Each structure stands twice: as C-alpha cells, then as structure tokens.
C-alpha cells in the first residue's frame, strides 16, 4: 500500500504506537535468534564461495570472537579483584543464559555439567533450515570463550543441539 499523498502524519504515528502496544512481542524475534540467522547466512555465503577454505575461515572467526569475549570477561573479573576461576566465569559471564537457554547445571564427579535442552541460537538456525552452519559456531564458541578467559580451565562439549543431539552438554573439567 502506498502512503497517503500528505505523507506520514502524527495520527499515523499514534496508530503505530498503539498498535505496537497492542501487539507487544508477539511477532518479535529474540536478538540472539537474529544473530544466529545472520551468522548462518554469512557462513553459507562464504562456504558457497570458498568451500573448505571458507569453512575454515568462519571457524577461525568464531574462535577469535570467542577468545575476545573470554578476555573481556577476564578483564571485568580482574577489575573486581577476583580470581579467574570457574565460579567467577559463571558469575560474570557475558551471556544472558536465563533468556537464551533452557538448561540444567549439575555436579558430576566434581565437574560441572550444563545440559541445554533448548537454545535460542539453535532455534534460529532451525527456523531458516541452516543447522549445518550453526554447527560451526557451536563447535568452537564455548571452548574459545573459556580459553580467552583462562586457558588453564578446561571444557568438553560432547553433544550439541545444532548437530541434532537431544541436548547440548558442556562439561567443565574442574577435578583433575
């Protein structure tokens, strides 16, 4: 539909504001969903153009991004005169996990296991049928963030939703 010849009016703007209030978040996407879709679209284009070399470049970019996130978390923790340990990683981490994941943490043999059964990132990949590209992100991101934060800490990621597993398992190895 073409706007009226007099352009957009204050009445139109008021209708928009009232409409947005009425609709609320019903048709909105979570920002992390949009991030996953952007990531997957970029990965798809780069890999389509450059093949395995493009896939390696995307993987390296995820590692670089993750390590930088980890360094920034470490900088915050140090600025608070805290230790770069796993407890502070969880306390001061940059991901709003409560609003992006449905997960359950538990202690297994002195280690921390986080089992994610639903993830906004994975859902975004699924919505656009791009799980293959989302796998690249999930393969590297958690290991890289922890490496950037404190390379002495260890994590295993044996399963991810983007690979089709029933849950993501992040196993933080504390007990040696």
pLDDT of 4 over the 70 cut = no
pLDDT for the residue 83 = 97
CA 44 vs CA 49, 65, 72, 132: distances in Å: 8, 18, 28, 9
Helix pair angle (131-149, 120-127), 10° resolution: 160
pLDDT of 3 over the 80 cut = no
pLDDT for the residue 73 = 97
The residue among 176 and 24 whose pLDDT is bigger is 24
Q: Look at residue 4 and give its three-state secondary structure.
A: coil
Residues 56, 78: Cα–Cα separation, whole Å: 33
Query: Domain 30-173 adopts which CATH fold?
Result: Muramoyl-pentapeptide Carboxypeptidase; domain 2 (3.30.1380)
DSSP 8-state assignment for residue 174: -
pLDDT for the residue 54 = 98
Residues 22, 32: Cα–Cα separation, whole Å: 24
Residue spans of the domains in the chain: they are: 30-173
Prediction pTM value: 0.84
- Quick check: 174 and 111 in contact, CB under 8 A? yes
Phi and psi at residue 5, to the nearest 5°: -60, -25
pLDDT band, very low/low/confident/very high, at 65 (cuts 50, 70, 90): very high
Angle at 30 between CA 27 and CA 33, to 5 degrees: 115
Give tens-digit pLDDT for 8-54: 888 888 888 888 888 777 766 777 788 999 999 999 999 999 999 99
pLDDT for the residue 21 = 85
pLDDT, average across residues 69-98: 94
Q: What is the mean pLDDT of the chain?
A: 91
Residues 46, 129: Cα–Cα separation, whole Å: 17
Residues 173, 155: Cα–Cα separation, whole Å: 6
Helix pair angle (31-79, 131-149), 10° resolution: 10
pLDDT, average across residues 128-150: 96
């Amino acid at each position: 539909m073409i706007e009226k010849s007099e352009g957009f009016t204050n009445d139109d703007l008021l209708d928009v504001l009232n409409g947005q209030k009425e609709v609320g978040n019903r048709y909105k996407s979570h920002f992390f969903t949009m991030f996953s879709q952007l990531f997957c679209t970029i990965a798809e284009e780069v890999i389509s153009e450059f093949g395995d070399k493009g896939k390696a470049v995307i993987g390296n970019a995820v590692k670089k991004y993750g390590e930088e996130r980890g360094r920034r978390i470490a900088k915050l923790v140090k600025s608070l005169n805290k230790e770069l340990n796993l407890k502070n990683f969880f306390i001061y981490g940059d991901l709003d996990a409560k609003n992006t994941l449905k997960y359950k943490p538990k202690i297994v043999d002195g280690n921390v296991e986080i089992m994610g059964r639903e993830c906004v990132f994975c859902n975004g990949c699924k919505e656009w049928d791009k799980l293959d590209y989302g796998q690249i992100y999930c393969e590297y991101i958690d290991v890289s963030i922890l490496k950037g934060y404190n390379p002495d800490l260890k994590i295993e990621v044996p399963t991810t939703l983007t690979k089709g597993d029933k849950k993501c398992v992040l196993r933080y190895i504390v007990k040696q």
